[in-house]
Amino acid sequence: MKATATTGPEFGWLRRLFWPIHRIEIKKFLPMFLIYSLIVFNYSLLRAAKDSLLITAPQSGAMVIPYIKVWLILPMAFLSTLIFTRLSNKYNREKVFYIMMSSFIAFFFIFGFILYPLQNHLHPHLLADKFQKYLPVGMQGLVAIFRNWTYSLFYVMSELWGTLIMHVLFWGFANEVTSVKEAKRFYSILGVGANLATICAGFIGILLSSEYLYSKIFFATDRWGQSLMSITSVIVIIGFVILILYRWLTHTTFQKEIVESHPMSDSQAGDSLGEASSMKNSQRGNSKPNPIKMGMRKNFAYLAKSKYLICIAILVLAYNLSLNLVEVIWKDQVLQLCPYPADYNIYMDKVLIYIGVTSAIFGFFFCGQVIRRFGWATGAYLTPIILFISGMLFFTTLFWKDHHFIQSAGLFFGCTPLALCVFLGAIQNTLSRASKFTFFDITKEIAFIPLSPESKLKGKAAIDGVGSRLGKSGGSVFHQSLLMFFGTIAMSTPFVAVILALVFGAWMWAVRSLGFQFAELSPDSPPESAPIKRTEPATQGA
């Protein structure tokens, strides 16, 4: 029997576990691995810095998060997705990548060396004080966005880096040049690279925020100002490295793969170089604009007509909604524990290290093996289960923080009840992010692969470009409504727990439905459940 790339004897059990990549595939896989790892490195640095910058800003706090995600990030997500679709209609994928990346690099340079040093001249504190005097207490977060508008802009661009650069640009490119069989071997290792990048970002962030570095290399007016300049400098440098790697990959590797012949058997070449059509499509994408015309309205109309894409959208909405609902409450507790921005950033960078280590363990030992052995649906179920259990632990500690049992537990671990609550929230955030970077991201991206090129492009632009923002903004809308009614995050927390329970129910239903459909569209995949009657393919649409 002919050996295959996924089950054949050309891989030993150890290599099949940790490195199921054919030698001839390395020149395609390794640049993708480096690009994704560096994108995640920047994203991790930005994720810690944006919270530390805005939450600890003058007269701000964790209550600013719901407002900024609704009133700034959501409109900017729609605007950036519109810009992406217009650019995609006019230019090929490679040029779009260069334009988007260059825009982000330019902004972070301008912020670090122009906007932040001039903050005292740019922030309208007097006008914001007048607004705060007449507005309800629950709208303090909205006023803080206006008061610290340059910080708010940094927060928005940091969020959009994850949405546009990581999800839309990179994964759109990866899904175009990768088959389902390749993805089951490639994507789990890409996830491991992302985890290692997260760990490195955590250590770098701690170093750049440390008092030791400030005493040795002083080029700003304060310790936190120096940290921000250093962080933005690293982000700009890494951005240029990503551009160089992407150009080398598209102009060297794929061109050579297309023009070279491969006189070898399928078992020797593996899946990657056997997918000549996907590489040719990628190369064609570098020579002329994408023939699929996109528009915001058409993308969402296309999405609405596909049950398959709707289920993927529910997964994205549910994850971002549940994560946002819990994170706001946890970050409010972190602010009480670490009120100074540099200390806040160090704590968040430590959490990044925990996330990276946990994600690496998930990626190395569980993610790829679970998906290959038990099927797509099993891997997709794990994320909501992990989030639900860890969230219950955090909320239980938060609700009964003054209970004798919680206080005794704090004494046992040598910390205050507040520190214990923050720690359990960090565990919840760590497990949520780790499962997202491994099980959630990989199963979501694999779900796109069996679709037609039009479904991939339009569905991904709508779901990743705006859907994730809608999920986070939906959580923010709930928080805003509760803040307007109760005034504080602490008073509204019990109602957040009820909303979370409903979100998890919808999430589990969407995974079950998508599992059936994915099994039909991917006949080479392990069965997700019992056979069902075949319906009209979900790739058909507007």
In a domain, 16, yes or no: no
Q: Which residue has the higher pLDDT, 210 or 255?
A: 210
| Listed range (80-94, 149-163, 452-466) with the worst mean pLDDT | 452-466
In a domain, 136, yes or no: yes
Q: Which helix (H) or strand (E) holds 90?
A: helix 74-90
In a domain, 117, yes or no: yes
Q: What is the pLDDT of residue 324?
A: 85
Q: Which residue has the higher pLDDT, 535 or 292?
A: 292
Residue 267 reports pLDDT greater than 70: no
Interior CA angle at 226 toward 221 and 77, to 5°? 115
Closest CA to 349 of 205, 162, 224: 205
Residue 286 reports pLDDT greater than 50: no
Residue 115 banded pLDDT, cuts 50, 70, 90 = very high
Question: Residue with structure tokens 């037609």?
Answer: 452
Q: Which residue has the higher pLDDT, 330 or 85?
A: 330
Q: How far apart are CA 207 and CA 230, in angstroms?
A: 10
Which two tokens mark 352?
A: 């990044």
Residue 400 reports pLDDT greater than 60: yes
In a domain, 5, yes or no: no
- 3-state SS of 335-373 is HHHCCCHHHHHHHHHHHHHHHHHHHHHHHHHHHHHHHHH
Contact between 508 and 318 under an 8 Å Cβ cutoff? The reply is: no
| Listed range (214-218, 221-225, 393-397, 420-424) with the worst mean pLDDT | 214-218
The string of DSSP letters for 235-296 reads: HHHHHHHHHHHHHHIIIIIHHHHHHS---S-HHHHHHHHH-HHHHHHHHHHHHS--SS---H
Q: What is the pLDDT of residue 213?
A: 66
Average pLDDT over residues 153-178: 88
Residue 527 reports pLDDT greater than 60: no
CB atoms within 10 A of CB 271: 21
The burial of 392, by beta-carbon neighbours within 10 Å (0-12 exposed, 13-18 middle, 19 or more buried), is given as middle
524 DSSP 8-state letter: T
Residue 307 reports pLDDT greater than 70: yes
Average pLDDT of the chain? 80
Average pLDDT over residues 467-496: 77
Q: How far apart are CA 70 and CA 320, in angstroms?
A: 13
Q: How far apart are CA 68 and CA 153, in angstroms?
A: 10
Domain count, the chain: 1
Residue 276 reports pLDDT greater than 70: no
CB atoms within 10 A of CB 255: 14
Average pLDDT over residues 298-304: 69
Three-state SS for 218?
A: coil
62 DSSP 8-state letter: T
Residue 386 reports pLDDT greater than 60: yes
In a domain, 91, yes or no: yes
CATH code of 175's domain: 1.20.1250.20
Q: How many CA atoms lie within 13 A of 445 on its CB side?
A: 31
In a domain, 14, yes or no: no
Structural domain range at position 38: 31-260+267-521
Q: What is the pLDDT of residue 224?
A: 86
Q: Which residue has the higher pLDDT, 40 or 438?
A: 40
Average pLDDT over residues 231-258: 85
Q: What is the pLDDT of residue 57?
A: 92
In a domain, 7, yes or no: no
In a domain, 15, yes or no: no
Residue 492 reports pLDDT greater than 90: no
